Structure 1
Amino acid sequence: MTPVPADAVRFDAGRLPPGGGGASPLDALSVPSAVAHGAVRELLALRPVLTACGLGLGLAGTADPAARPAGPAEEAAASAMPDGRRREFLAGRLAARRALCAVGLDCGDIPRAGRAPVFPPGRTASITHSDGLAVAVARVPGRLGPAGCDLELRPLPGAAARLVLREDEERWLREAGPAEHLGDRLTALFSAKEAAWKALHAPTAHAGPAAPVNHAVPAARTGPTACAVSTVPAACAACAAAREASAVRGGAGRGGPGPAVPEPHGLDGFAPHCARPVPAVPAHSSGTLRDLRAEPLGDRVRVWSRTAPERAVDVRVVPLVDGVFSWVLGRAAGPADERP
């Protein structure tokens, strides 16, 4: 991935070089690709930065022999999954336990509300997956605030912008830097929104049964250029973006000609129903990534709900191998134009 110009999104200026971070058992993670191996090295180098933010880091590969169910909830969920998704799911749970252990907390079985993990009281964490690597962050006890993270090891194609952003964000995307870096800027905003979504919509241990939220992507255009997938029920923005990217390339999908389509939410390919169930959220919450507003502010991205601007978080986005890694720094005062 070509670095994003500094005048576009000024990623973390304190980014540490690959290979740092010292020796760790995590250096021997079982990850399936060279890209994921590179990501492990750079994530380990980021550990001091995350520690300074009050976060512990956990990593696990989908081939890690320790990635096994920790209790009946994980066993039941994993048993209903195809092999690839099961390995990813269990790696994510293992990464979460490692992140919590890094901040001095234990954790056993991690149940789900929809597709979101539900952590025990007193434990705040977030999980993300990409290319066979699971990453989790956990907040240090006593440090209030939500947790959210996102790993994207494959850049999003620029043609998917209208499925992730609204016009005010697309304007920034076009004007913030050279056109050849548009895909990098889009991936940064997409990842920031994904991390923010997890933080703003995290279930609690006391939450009731999950209720799927309709992730239909509203049509961003009308007429002959309207997106063909914009009205698919329960389609999440990432799945829709990936399908649209395939259509833009003339039907080339995974393994076909052209650059690889990003695999939304770390799934192996696209779910046949293209659904992303999420935990029940308040009525004022967003239903798609387009209903979150993102604006770069120096070394961070502020993300807030368009329908409830007081629900806002700041997100740090750093380049990682060919993609980005994002994590929520904490709650923000509100939209960028209302910051102190």
Structure 2
Amino acid sequence: MRDDLAALRPLLLASGLGLGVAAASEPGAEPAGPAEAAAAASMPEQRRREFLAGRRAARRALWAVGLDCGEIPRSGRLPVFAPGRAASISHSAGIAVAVARGADGELPLGCDLELRPLPRAAARLVLRADEEPLLAVWSVTALFSAKESAWKALAVTDGGLRDLRASSCGDELRVGLRVDPARAVGVRVVHVGAAGVFSYVTGQDTVPG
């Protein structure tokens, strides 16, 4: 699985993005500083491993675009990066992945990893009626993942995934706010492993779908 994800690095670099991957099972993983240690201290062991894997993945993504990065504290549930650094982190089934942009990049950031496929019945939690035709081409897992990536990139704070509208745009998906259709991003979804998907935002889309 990690090899499948690592193979995507050239694809993301072509879009100006760095990719980092880490496993919760990596031996000897420790917090990178006191803020990470404090955040992880009260977590159950598996959650602690996943949290630290996410931080390692983010640092590796930033290194991939030539940026160093120390510890990554958090505010609430959100990671807090040093000035000039930004990354998006996702976890699934013990694997953490992150995407980062270079210091001069302006791409909105969002990624999502789903290694456990969702049942078709979950579509009602993700889609509205006007999006159901997408199921002829895209799996529920792919659509869920794309909306998760867009949710992060658009910095949505209220509502749920059904408040985003997805539409096909070539080999990508366009995902935008229903209340403000001009606020949208392009999202690419890539299959990884036997049934998993990885999605990431490829750029801002200002043309209403």
Q: Which has the higher contact order (CA 8 A, sep 6+)?
A: 1
Q: How much does 1:306 deviate?
A: 0.9
Asked whether the equivalents of residues 286 and 305 of structure 1 are also in contact (C-alpha less than 8 Å), the reply is no
Shift of 1:65: 2.9
Matched, 1:94 2:56: yes
Q: Deviations over 1:53-92 (max 9, x none)?
A: 1111111110223532112221111011111111000000
Partner Cα distance (1:155, 1:297) in 2: 23
Aligned to 2:34: 72
CA shift digits 1:242-277 (9 cap, x unpaired): xxxxxxxxxxxxxxxxxxxxxxxxxxxxxxxxxxxx
Letter in 2 for 1:185: S
Aligned pairs for 1:231-246 (under 5 A) are none
Match of 1:295 among 167, 170, 174: 167
Q: 1:53 and 2:53 equivalent?
A: no
Amino acid at match of 2:202: L
In the alignment, which residue of structure 2 is the partner of 1:323?
196
Q: Unaligned stretches of 5+ in structure 2?
A: none
Q: Which amino acid is the alignment partner of residue 335 of structure 1?
A: P
Question: Is the Cα–Cα contact under 8 Å of residues 147 and 199 in structure 1 kept in the other structure?
Answer: yes
What is the total number of aligned residue pairs between the two structures?
A: 208
CA-CA distance at 1:286 after TM superposition: 4.2
Query: Which letter maps to 2:192?
Result: L
User: Quick one: structure 1 residues 56 and 315, their matched pair in 2 at CA, closer, same or farther if it must change by over 3 Å?
Assistant: same
C-alpha separation in 2, matches of 1:315 and 1:290: 16
Matching residue of 2:140: 186
Equivalent runs, 1:3-152 vs 2, <5 Å? 39-152=1-114
TM-score, with length taken from structure 2: 0.94
Q: CA RMSD, aligned part only?
A: 1.5
Instruction: Give 1:315's aligned amino acid.
Output: V
Over the matched positions of the two proteins, sequence identity in percent amounts to: 65
Residue 310 of structure 1: how far off its partner (Å):
2.3
Counterpart of 1:75 in structure 2: which amino acid? Answer: A
Cα deviation 1:12-67 (Å, max 9, x = unaligned): xxxxxxxxxxxxxxxxxxxxxxxxxxx21111211111110111111111022353
Asked if structure 2 preserves the Cα contact closer than 8 Å seen for 1:302 and 1:335, the reply is: no
Q: TM-score, normalised by structure 1?
A: 0.59
Structure 1 CA distance for aligned equivalents of residues 28 and 110 of structure 2:
24
Poorly superposed stretches of 4+, deviation over 3 Å: none
Structure 1 residue matching 2:26: 3-state secondary structure = coil
Distance in 2 of aligned mates of 1:317 and 1:97? 23
Q: CA deviation at 1:121?
A: 1.6
Indicate if the aligned counterparts of 2:134 and 2:168 stay in contact, CA closer than 8 A. Answer: no
> Alignment partner of 2:139: what SS?
helix
- The answer on whether the counterparts of 2:20 and 2:60 sit within 8 Å (CA) in structure 1 is yes
Higher strand residue share: 2
Query: How big is each residue's C-alpha offset from its partner over 1:128-172, in whole Å with a ceiling of 9 and x where there is no partner?
Result: 111111111111221212111111111110111111111111243
Instruction: Supply the AA of the counterpart residue of 1:142.
Output: D
